[in-house]
Amino acid sequence: MLDASHLLMRLGGVARGRELQAFGLTRQQLAAQVDADEIRRLRPGVFASPSTPDAVISAAEHGGALTCEAALTHHGVWTLIEHPRVHVWMGADGRRHPHERCACVSHFFAGTTTLGVASVEDALAHLFRCAGHEAFFASFESAWRLRLLTRAARDRVRAALPRSARWLVDFARADSDSGLESLVRLRLHLIGIRLACQVTIQGVGRVDFLVGDRLIIEVDGRLNHASAERRHNDLVRDAAASLLGYETLRFDYAQVVHDWPSVERAILAAVDRADVRD
């Protein structure tokens, strides 16, 4: 007998019964594998592998595909929200199915959807409409860096944006080390500060950003630089930079995401001291 669980994983973890039957499984076989706890019946006509992630299960129970930041997290893309809610792409005329502990956000965006997880392209386009330019930009650069977006895919994502927002794709680059760096670069660009990115300074190493000739900006992500050893290495680098005449500003995730006004004021003050603003 066909292994429905293995087939389900090949189909993204969830599928409708008619999709499984197209591969030769009968209703009786599906029922038998449900009874044997080899697969799960989420609702009439919808099945899942036991190993399918909870977010994908919730989206399928709700009636569509996981999208926005939850889908991008599933694909390994950096997202501004660390633990996003389940957003469900219902298609233009989908029907919600309330389910136990349902906290899903329904999106009736146009296009053909199915169960499972939206593609990176679709999830990015949905994310812009759902969460705005900052969340989109940070995730777009992350997906590009992870080589999840071909040139053609980037063009399709760009075309899906409003004309007024397409500059975000044009401004993006593939070498941002983290979504947090993307966020900082975008915000500083919008207030007129030009950055050189991923600059190698002899005697210091590679720094996140260089403003003008002497101002270094470093951004520490959610997990980076948490250990005592990494903190020590950062201090050594900052001291080496100071000996060479550089000023280093270092910010962590909480500062950038939750206290940006203070970060911006500190950067603007340093820029004024260095007299390097465009």
Residues near 228 by beta carbon (within 8 Å), at least 6 away in sequence: none
Query: How many domains would you assign to the chain?
Result: 3
For the segment 188-216, what is each residue's pLDDT rounded down to a tens digit?
999 999 899 988 999 888 998 999 989 99
Q: How confident is the model at residue 237 (pLDDT cuts 50, 70, 90)?
A: confident
138 burial level (CB within 10 Å; 0-12, 13-18, 19+): buried
Q: φ and ψ at 220, to 5 degrees?
A: -100, 125
For the segment 161-173, what is each residue's pLDDT rounded down to a tens digit?
999 999 999 999 9
106/76 same-domain check: yes
67/129 same-domain check: yes
45/94 same-domain check: no
> What CATH number did the domain enclosing 212 receive?
3.40.960.10
68/103 same-domain check: yes
213/202 same-domain check: yes
106/69 same-domain check: yes
Final residue before a domain boundary, out of 133, 151, 174: 174
pLDDT at 151: 97
For the segment 5-54, what is each residue's pLDDT rounded down to a tens digit?
889 988 889 999 999 999 988 899 999 999 999 999 999 999 999 999 99
Sheet of 46-48: strand order equals 14-16, 46-48, 40-43
153/185 same-domain check: no
For the segment 85-144, what is each residue's pLDDT rounded down to a tens digit?
999 999 988 888 888 888 899 999 998 888 999 999 999 999 999 999 999 999 999 999
pTM recorded for the entire structure:
0.89
228/269 same-domain check: yes
| Structural domain for 40, as ranges | 1-52
Between strands 87-89 and 105-107, the pairing is parallel
